[in-house]
Amino acid sequence: MEKTKIKELEKVVVKFVGDSGDGMQLTGTQFAGTSAFLGNDIATFPDYPAEIRAPQGTVAGVSGFQVHIGKSHIHTPGDKSDVLVAMNAAALRANLYSVPSGNTIIIDTDNFKRKDWEKAGYDSDPLESEELKKFNVVKAPITSLTRKALEGIGLDNKSITRSKNMFALGVVYWLFSRPMDYTERFLKGKFGKKEMILEGNMKALKAGYYFAETIEALPSAYTVLPSDMEKGRYKSVMGNEATAWGFLAAAEKSDKNLFLGSYPITPATDILQEVAKHKHFGAKAFQAEDEIAGIAAAIGAAFAGDFAITTTSGPGLALKGEAIGLAVMTELPIVIVDVQRGGPSTGLPTKTEQSDLLQALYGRNGESPVVVVAAKSPSDCFDMAYNASKIAMEHVTPVILLTDGYVANGSQPWKIKKMADLDDIVPYTINSSDNAETWEPYIRDENTLARKWVVPGTEGFEHRIGGLEKDETTGNVSYAPENHEKMVKVREEKVARVANYIPDLKVEGNQEGDLLIVGWGGTFGALLTAGEEVEANGRIGLAHFNYIKPLPKNTAEVFSRFKKIVVCELNNGQFVKYLRAELPQFDYLQYNKIQGLPFSTSELIDRFTEILKED
Amino acid sequence: MSENPKVEYRAKDFASDQEVRWCPGCGDYAILKSVQKAMPELGIDKKDIVFVSGIGCSSRFPYYMDTYGFHSIHGRAPAIASGVKMANPNLSVWQITGDGDALAIGGNHFIHALRRNIDINILLFNNRIYGLTKGQFSPTTSLGHKTKTSPQGSIDNPFNPGELALGAGAQFFARIEDINPKGMVDIFIEAEKHKGTSLIEILQNCVIFNDKVFKEWTAKEVKTEAFLRVEHGKPMIFGKERNKGIIQNGFKLEVVEIGKDGITEDDLVVHDAHEEDITLHMMLVNLRMPMVTGVIRSVKRDTFNERLSQQLEEIKATTKFKTVDDLLESGETWEI
Ligand SMILES: Cc1ncc(C[n+]2csc(CCOP(=O)(O)OP(=O)(O)O)c2C)c(N)n1
Ligand code: SF4
């Protein structure tokens, strides 16, 4: 047999879409994992319905997983699909917009019967439509071919049909010259003891692979060569997982037990689940009765000496507001993670947004300053969880870490960090030079203004703290007017001084010039990619913020080096509002998107090009 | 916690330097004194004792104790106290709360702390009113009672804290009146000795907003007849002349007079605080006249913390992850 010619590609975006029961998340994850394993850079974006069991075959029930793999560096899951795998009519209908004409669509024709396309809301058979002629459509009866391949191996019908996602994966593996061994290892790990299911999945995978090799509908096989990434040992990480690991690392480094008080909420739940898996590090994963109890238990644990955190999403952060105020008042170290999603209220539970920034900064009663930081990519979640922990324990203060659904569920190859290479974390606690007679609970370090973290069980240092305003040194309740004013200012100044301990703001691209793109959090990849592409039109830089309150010390200086500044956010303009208040001397342009979707590079490119043209 | 503190404490060693600021005559003073009296007898080092409270008059309590203390936010003290105890199981943790704090805003945390059996001692100061906010009805205010927010009489059905607690899985419940200092000291000691969450309802008089709400039981003329103090293993006898008792009649407890209608001490119910089945304890907490005091239920069951420590130890012993490096390097990895 003549060997198919293999073409090399720089980058490719594959999107797997099907019904929420079709196993598309797994298929996508496997394709991403295999590619990462081959040395490609990858970025992924799962997109799943809010309803756990939306009616089968309807547009509401479509679940997708987008994978971007590349030889060069990849910063986003991509805008448009090079290959779309559609397992039913509804999936095609919901995703056709993302496929430019001429690209490949692989369709499971078994799920395009009249009742299927009617359920999907089509008036006529989409396979016969003019529209589809613009694409290279590979019509494959995936479901029935899977059934045929698994005939007689003794599996029940339901399990056989379930394996069709492996058939689809096999087709794509052939198309992109991927080996099957990564998935084989995965399946063995997952179904090790259930041999029949393992065999069924492997058979379906191979059947798909050989099917693709045999038919002539596929023009050629492609490959994406390994990228030029930094040398080292890698693994694939998801944002939420990386967040959990960052905290486990911080606990080990500070020689503290990790305490996580949390209540399940999408898209933050995975952090709780990940920590719960790793109790062997002494981590106490406490699933509380609600968000308030989650943070309250964390505050109690922090008071008693654990390194305590709480994780949630927007509505949960709202519930925690009063308790965060207590942590501010009592000056206890705790980290609060908010994995943002669309709001207000229950909003768009499974969709990403950056609209909790003002809540994080100001969403509490009284003057209640906390440190606010944000993670910019799945792997950056590790670093920012770690850095947030360091600030909390060294400055004895609550810290809010903002991530979002997009980075939390996205995955990326991550160059594995070694504990030895991470910065030290030295909690600010009493030591042998402290004398119980002269010590007072609210005496502060003159540089950081932190008060010492002294925990019950320490002899001679018995003391009482609480939510009432307190005397500036003794910590005894005090309503004295001047004292309150002083305390409000000192708590604010304590947070402001964190600026002396965080890195300067870095600019990607041009260091000065026509346009500075400003962003924060999970939009980093899209802004960087778009910025790089527009660069030809002008001198462009990107200033992306990990540290929001306090702002890095050189922020104003960076801003002053550019003619125009555009602040891009997935909200109605929250960071820009904050910047206008903090640094009013600059003019800020905006680009805001509020659709529960990440930025696409193309829309950013359009906007930046437009700004460069304007006078 | 060390069973033998280095110093022999006296009650006054537990008084902090803070001026106590409850209304003169408030029942809270007597409770504070009794707690301070009970402490030296527990043999726990001061450094290992933590008082946690929510918000309310009673919740000022931690400031007055020369131990570790945390005056937190309204209703959330059970969760904070649970966090303290989980972080450091060696600490003796006491939660001070009012009927509004525990049963209204904090109702959820209250039942879950009992359900989990996390080994904290909860002192519920029940004055059937909101004191700190100056006199609104609370979840224990009687039907028809007039308060500032129920000027025509309360139309809310009240909770009976004991009934709620037993329903939520409380393994230790005691009740005592604030005019019984000796009784309080004994119960606090028993509560601390009990491994598991202990709830003590204290009938506390608020002289300002709900004075004499318990007068049906506590008034001089009636108090010797109005309380039945139960003790494990002892028949249920009460009254000044010790001539009244309790018998069980079907699903009800009934008051009888010893010597009348041929009733003897042998006919009386013998209290069993250790019985797992809650039927008898439920009947006792619901009895209105006499009001039952003393340790009504005290049943040993694994505590949350025991299970937590055990689980942590087991996992530590069997895991292949000894350090976070092991975790980070686990799973599928590749070299570039
Ligand atoms: C979130 C919140 N809501 C309301 C209040 C106001 N508040 C303070 S104490 C209290 C009721 C206290 O009553 P109780 O718990 O019975 O305690 P007591 O003062 O009677 O001892 C209320 C409503 C508050 N401090 N915080
Ligand atoms: S208002 Fe009532 S409960 Fe509060 S201190 Fe005064 S008497 Fe005590």
pLDDT of residue A4: 55
Over residues B287-322, the pLDDT tens digits come to: 999 999 999 999 999 999 999 999 999 999 999 999
C-alpha A125: how far from chain center: 38
Per-residue model confidence (pLDDT) at position B102: 98
How far is residue A353's CA from residue A338's CA, in Å, rounded to a whole number?
12
B14 contacts in A (CB within 8 Å)? none
Which site among B14, B92, B323, B327 would you substitute to test the A interface, given the most A Cβ atoms closer than 10 Å to its Cβ?
A: B327
CA A396, CA A429: separation in Å to the nearest integer?
9
Assess contact for A109 and A141: CB atoms under 8 A. Answer: yes
Q: Is A501 exposed, middle or buried (0-12, 13-18, 19+ CB in 10 A)?
A: middle
**Percent of chain B residues past pLDDT 70, beyond the cut:** 98
Whether the Cβ atoms of residue A567 and residue A543 lie closer than 8 Å to each other? no
Q: How far apart are CA B33 and CA B15, in angstroms?
A: 9
| pLDDT at residue A218 in the model | 74
B130, B141, B204, best to mutate for ligand 1 pocket (most atoms within 8 Å of CB):
B130
Pick the residue whose CA is nearest to atom 9 on ligand 1. B56
| A-to-B residue pairs, Cβ atoms closer than 8 angstroms | 209
Smallest Cβ–Cβ distance between A419 and the set B49, B325, B333 belongs to B325
Q: Tell me whether B319 touches chain A (CB under 8 Å).
A: yes
Q: Which residues of A touch B16 (CB under 8 A)?
A: 464
Nearest-neighbour CA in chain B from A379: distance (Å)? 12
Interface test with B, best of A29, A248, A281 (most B CBs within 10 A): A281
Task: Enter the DSSP assignment of A450.
Answer: P
Check pLDDT > 60 for residue B1: no
Contacts with A468 from chain B: Cβ below 8 Å? 71
pLDDT at B68 over 70: yes
Instruction: Note the pLDDT of residue A1.
Output: 36
Looking at all shown ligands, the one closest to residue B55's CA atom is 1
Ligand 1 pocket check for B74: Cβ under 6 Å:
yes
Please, which contacts does A51-55 make with residues 24 or more away whose CB atoms are closer than 8 Å? A51/A20, A52/A20, A53/A20, A54/A20, A55/A119
B59 lines ligand 2 (CB under 6 A): no
Contact A456 B308 (CB under 8 A): no
Q: Given CA atoms A49, A50, A53, A56 in this order, what sign does their dihedral have? A: negative
Contact B70 A303 (CB under 8 A): yes
Using the Cβ of A459 and the Cβ atoms of chain B, whether some distance falls under 8 Å is answered with: yes
Ligand 2, atom nearest to B210 Cα: 2
Ligand 2 atom with least separation from CA of B56: 4
Give me the interface pTM, i.e. the ipTM.
0.97
Q: What is the pLDDT of residue A5?
A: 66
Distance from C-alpha of A89 to C-alpha of A81, rounded to nearest angstrom: 17
* Contact in structure between A24 and A18 (CB atoms under 8 Å): yes
With an 8 Å Cβ cutoff, is A385 touching chain B? no
Compute the distance from residue B94 Cα to the ligand 2 centre, in Å: 21
The whole-angstrom separation of Cα A260 and Cα A245 is 12
- The answer to whether A235 contacts chain B (CB < 8 Å) is yes
Asked whether the bond before A413 is cis by omega within 30 degrees of 0, the reply is no
| Candidate from A235, A299, A419 with C-beta closest to B83 | A299
User: What confidence score (pLDDT) does residue B3 get?
Assistant: 54
Whether the CB of A475 is below 8 Å from some CB of chain B: the reply is no
Alpha-carbon distance of B69 to B52, in angstroms, equals 6
- Is the shortest distance between the CB of B58 and ligand 1 below 6 Å? yes
Q: Is B178 in the pocket of ligand 1 (CB under 6 A)?
A: no
Q: Chain B within 8 Å of A521 (Cβ-Cβ)?
A: no
- Closest to B336 (Cβ–Cβ): which among A231, A290, A477? A231
DSSP A225: P
Low-confidence ranges of chain A (pLDDT < 70): 1-5, 217
Secondary structure, 3-state, B206-269 = CCCCCCCCCHHHHCCCCHHHHEEEECCCCECEECCCCCEEEEEECCEEEEEECCHHHCCHHHCC
**CB of B205 closer than 6 angstroms to any ligand 1 atom:** no
CA distance B205 to chain A (A): 25
Is the CB of B160 inside a 6 Å radius of any atom of ligand 1?
Answer: no
Q: Is B105 on the interface with A (CB under 8 A)?
A: no
Return the ligand number nearest the Cα of B29.
2
Are the C-beta atoms of B153 and B146 separated by less than 8 Å? Answer: yes
Q: What is the largest CA-CA distance in chain B?
A: 94
Residue B311: closest CA among chain A residues belongs to which residue? A279
Contact list, B47 vs chain A (CB under 8 Å) = 456-462
Which among B71, B72, B327 is the nearest to A248, CB-wise? B327
3 state SS of B325 = helix
pLDDT for A358: 98
What's A520-587 look like in SS3?
Answer: EHHHHHHHHHHHHHHHHHCCEEEEEECEEECCCCCHHHHHCCEEEEEEEECCCCHHHHHHHHHCCCCC
Judged by CB atoms within 8 Å, which residues 53-72 of B form the interface with A? 55, 62-63, 65-72
Owner of token pair 């966090």: B83
Closest-CA distance, A252 to chain B, in angstroms, reads: 7
Can you tell me the distance from the alpha carbon of A501 to that of A448, in angstroms, rounded to the nearest whole number? Answer: 9
Cα separation, B259 vs B228, whole angstroms: 18
Distance, CA of A408 to CA of B327 (rounded, Å): 19
Ligand 2 site, residue B57, Cβ cutoff 6 A: yes
What is the DSSP annotation of A12-27?
EEEEEEEETTS-HHHH
**Amino acid at residue number A128:** E
Q: Are the beta carbons of B80 and A300 separated by less than 8 Å? A: yes
pLDDT of the residue at A8: 84
Give pLDDT, residue A215.
83
Angle at alpha carbon of residue A456, lines to A452 and A457, rounded to 5°:
115
Q: Using the mean position of ligand 2's atoms as its centre, give its distance from the Cα of residue A167 in Å.
A: 73
Q: Which of the residues A464, A468, A471 would you substitute to probe the B interface, choosing the one with the greatest number of B C-beta atoms within 10 Å?
A: A464
Closest C-alpha to ligand 2, atom 6? B23
Atom 10 of ligand 1, nearest CA residue: B56
Q: Which of B73, B324, B329 to mutate to test the interface with A (most CBs of A within 10 A)?
A: B324
B62 lines ligand 2 (CB under 6 A): no
Q: Which ligand is nearest to the CA of B205?
A: 2
Q: Which of residues 12-31 of B touch A (CB under 8 A)?
A: 16, 18
Q: Which residue, by CA, sits nearest to atom 2 of ligand 2?
A: B206
CA distance A461 to B146: 46
Closest residue by Cα to residue A272 from A281, A257, A256, A284: A284
Q: Is the peptide bond before A344 cis (omega within 30 degrees of 0)?
A: yes
